[in-house]
Amino acid sequence: MENHLKKMPSPLLSLVPILVLVALLFVTIRTFGSDALSGGSQVVLLTTTAVASLLAMIFCKVKWRDIEEAICKNILGVATAIIILLLIGALSGSWMISGIVPTLIYYGMQIIHPSFFLASCCVICAVVSVMTGSSWTTIATIGIALMGIGEAQGFATGWVAGAIISGAYFGDKISPLSDTTVLASSVTHTPLFSHIRYMMLTTIPSMVITLIIFTIAGFTHTSNASGQIAEFAASLNESFNISLWLLIVPVVTGILIAKKVPSLITLFISTAMAGVFAIFFQPHLLQEVAGASVADASSLFKGLFMTFYGSTQIDTGNEALNSLVATRGMAGMMNTIWLIICAMCFGGSMTASGMLESLTSVFLRFMKRRVGMVASTVCSGLFLNIVTADQYISIILTGNMFKDIYKKKGYESRLLSRTTEDSVTVTSVLVPWNTCGMTQATILGVATLTYLPYCFFNLISPLMSITMAAIGFKIKQHHEEDQSIIVN
């Protein structure tokens, strides 16, 4: 009964909150620098939420109750992701103090040759992400270890993070265990494995180009870090009890993921196992974390719990290594969680007001031909990643917005599902205030804008999607009455 009172905002009015967001973020980042994520960016998002809500109530006759419901729905939608973030914080702390990550770094520095490190890093993360179906889990586990190896070999953090993220999102994109892959196929009503097979046509070429770039970069890497590697290895060996037995934890974690055990359960079990191994292999470190003079049951308990939830700093005798093995636990994820909640507030206000729908309708004007249709979908997906700050919302909105249009024009649903993944899943990590961008920057300790230029797979994938549309390779068009013959 109340919908007839609501006015659809014009694209110009809908653009106002976006301009305010961009302007305030620019000033905030210039003012606070890397500390902008400690509160400044969150205040910006809440401010733009207020602007969008005010415009909606004044010009669009939207009731505050509707805006509030949309915000609550958005926050509820990322509740699981927030819990996963907390567990990842606990996991990263326990995997470090237990010696799992130091063991991976210790052996990895001796196995992976610097010339092939970036390409190897990308491939390793791709394989792990395909098996796990999660870029977040891959980056939070093996990604942290590879960051340590890369720094020890003298690579810039942006290059290493770019290789890790490129590989992790390759696997996240094509793994049948990935929630984004399942979501994109289900929203567009495309059979899962048909969706995955069709994505290979853009994903494989993008990955090949990415590996070529990383291989060339590896061979042109002139830093002689052999002395630093030896120093790191010696310091790790002195500070931690390095043992192959510690690798049982990542192996068990991989098995749990392969068995499709839910992420929350897998992360909890992996964290708990790492805690047990820390007690047996690194009691001296738990004592140091607890600040106790004696390694008794009380100090071990205190040190273990502090590893899960708080910051830890181990003195290895090597200043560079000290920062590498430092952890922040669950508490280190709070700024990210705070930002995610604020981003969901902004996305909710934009959705409830109709401003999001108004802005995305602009892209529909460029859909007269196949290339324009795919390019509009790519631009819309990227735009939604920026505006809603969440890849799941962006996938749902992109799929629902273009589904009927693709069908009416006689294109297979798998073209839409592929384009959605090419534009949303891989670019979410490139947006500083997006949940993915914030999470990976927090986990790796590298600012989003620092690693962005080196995430070649993520940058190439949307362009590859448009290129394939221009070529027309494996893109079939049918009349609407012939939809039954479309091959999935």
Per the domain annotation, does 55 fall within a domain?
no
Per the domain annotation, does 351 fall within a domain?
no
- Domains held by the chain: number: 1
- What CA–CA distance (Å, rounded) separates 403 from 411? 10
Per the domain annotation, does 437 fall within a domain?
no
Residue 477, classed as helix, strand or coil, is strand
Average pLDDT, integer, range 192-207: 89
- What CA–CA distance (Å, rounded) separates 301 from 293? 14
Domain of residue 188: give its range: 77-330
Per the domain annotation, does 148 fall within a domain?
yes
Amino acid at 343: A
pLDDT of residue 487: 37
pLDDT at 23 over 70: yes
Please, which pLDDT band fits residue 131 given cuts at 50, 70 and 90?
low
**Dihedrals phi, psi of 6, to nearest 5 degrees:** -80, 130
Per the domain annotation, does 135 fall within a domain?
yes
Q: Residues 74, 347: contact at Cβ < 8 Å?
A: yes
Average pLDDT, integer, range 93-115: 80
Strand partners, 12: none
Q: Residues 334, 349: contact at Cβ < 8 Å?
A: no
pLDDT of residue 274: 93
pLDDT of residue 226: 58
Q: Residues 347, 390: contact at Cβ < 8 Å?
A: yes
Please, which pLDDT band fits residue 202 given cuts at 50, 70 and 90?
very high
Residue 312, classed as helix, strand or coil, is strand
Please, which pLDDT band fits residue 459 given cuts at 50, 70 and 90?
very high
- What CA–CA distance (Å, rounded) separates 91 from 104? 15
pLDDT of residue 209: 96
Q: Which has more confidence, 404 or 370?
A: 370
Average pLDDT, integer, range 119-139: 81
pLDDT at 5 over 90: no
Please, which pLDDT band fits residue 15 given cuts at 50, 70 and 90?
confident
* Nearest alpha-carbon partner for 142 in 159, 160, 154, 156: 160
Cβ-count burial of 319 within 10 angstroms (0-12 exposed, 13-18 middle, 19+ buried)?
A: exposed
Per the domain annotation, does 397 fall within a domain?
no
pLDDT of residue 436: 85
Please, which pLDDT band fits residue 39 given cuts at 50, 70 and 90?
confident
- What CA–CA distance (Å, rounded) separates 414 from 377? 13
Per the domain annotation, does 394 fall within a domain?
no
Mean of the per-residue pLDDT values of the chain: 82
The model's pLDDT over 315-346, given as tens digits with 9 standing for 90+, comes to 877 766 776 677 788 888 887 788 778 878 88
Lowest mean pLDDT among 3-17, 377-391, 428-442: 3-17
pLDDT of residue 22: 75
pLDDT of residue 122: 92
Please, which pLDDT band fits residue 46 given cuts at 50, 70 and 90?
very high
Please, which pLDDT band fits residue 481 given cuts at 50, 70 and 90?
very low
Q: Which has more confidence, 269 or 481?
A: 269
pLDDT of residue 324: 67
Please, which pLDDT band fits residue 8 given cuts at 50, 70 and 90?
confident
- What CA–CA distance (Å, rounded) separates 1 from 18? 30
pLDDT of residue 47: 93
**Dihedrals phi, psi of 393, to nearest 5 degrees:** -60, -40
pLDDT of residue 4: 47
Per the domain annotation, does 277 fall within a domain?
yes
Please, which pLDDT band fits residue 366 given cuts at 50, 70 and 90?
low
pLDDT at 412 over 80: yes
Specify the DSSP class assigned to residue 331.
G
